[in-house]
Amino acid sequence: MTILDSIRKSLVPIHKEGYPFIAVACVIAILLLFFSTFFGMLAVGLAIWTALFFRDPPRVTPLREGLVIAPADGVISQVGLARPPKELDLSDDPLLRISIFMNVFNVHVNRAPVSGRIDRITYKPGKFLNAELDKASEDNERNGLVITSAGLTIGVVQIAGLIARRIVSFVREGEEIGAGERFGLIRFGSRVDVYLPVGTKVQVSEGQITTAGETILCDLAAQSARDASYRVS
């Protein structure tokens, strides 16, 4: 292995969605350095932050059937019952919702929580409230996916935040997607909600830090096995 190969492997990959933004930030930094060292260095810092924002590190996803994996890097901000967005057509009654809040320093590439078929993708324009607020689920710009996995229907909703101004989707309706595969990205601060059947026993709690594609939110297969054993006994 050459020194160049070692350097390449040590660098975190950047998602291609970030290339235009990084290029613009670098050009601004170079121009400002000619006129002001102070403002030029501030621009250099902004360019570095932009590159870090669009980083897309590899992840190792647990692939056992029934696992629901965190779709986003961030912190669990809410775990509880909530009505899913109407456009998803999931349920008129509350479902279990796990909300993950991403700040501007988190990785913002989102990954599928389960393997399955993408039955529906719905985009809804809206406001740009603080994504930590509960009403952001109803009022903010969002993009929702309905995934059918092993007979269960799961909802995943990307919600734009206070700074976010664009939700990018990488998938289409009817596609098959694997757990941990990239399905979208939200630019500059946001939240992702996962909607699960009522009664699901989660393995995370509010305040816990998650890693997209790796952190296990719940184990539906193990729960079904336990429920079956209880009924038999």
- Looking at the fold, whether 105 and 25 belong to one and the same domain comes out as no
Q: Over 80: is that where the pLDDT of 206 sits? A: yes
Structure confidence by residue, pLDDT tens digits, 70-88:
999 999 999 999 999 888 9
Q: Are 94 and 83 in contact (CB under 8 A)?
A: yes
At 145, is the pLDDT very low, low, confident or very high (cuts 50, 70, 90)? very high
Is the residue at 29 inside a domain?
yes
- Looking at the fold, whether 127 and 101 belong to one and the same domain comes out as yes
Q: Are 161 and 38 in contact (CB under 8 A)?
A: no
Quick one: average pLDDT of 108-118? 94
Angle at 41 between CA 39 and CA 47, to 5 degrees: 105
Is the residue at 195 inside a domain?
yes
Quick one: average pLDDT of 140-155? 88
Q: Tell me which DSSP letter residue 204 carries.
A: -
- Looking at the fold, whether 132 and 195 belong to one and the same domain comes out as yes
At 19, is the pLDDT very low, low, confident or very high (cuts 50, 70, 90)? confident
- Looking at the fold, whether 192 and 128 belong to one and the same domain comes out as yes
pLDDT of residue 228: 47
Number of domains in the chain: 2
H/E run at residue 96: strand 95-102
Would you name the residues annotated as active-site residues? 190
Range of the domain at 208: 67-227
User: Which two tokens mark 215?
Assistant: 């952190």
- Looking at the fold, whether 93 and 199 belong to one and the same domain comes out as yes
pLDDT of residue 230: 44
Name which of 2-16, 39-53, 159-173 the model is least confident about.
Answer: 2-16
Specify the pTM.
Answer: 0.83
- Looking at the fold, whether 122 and 21 belong to one and the same domain comes out as no
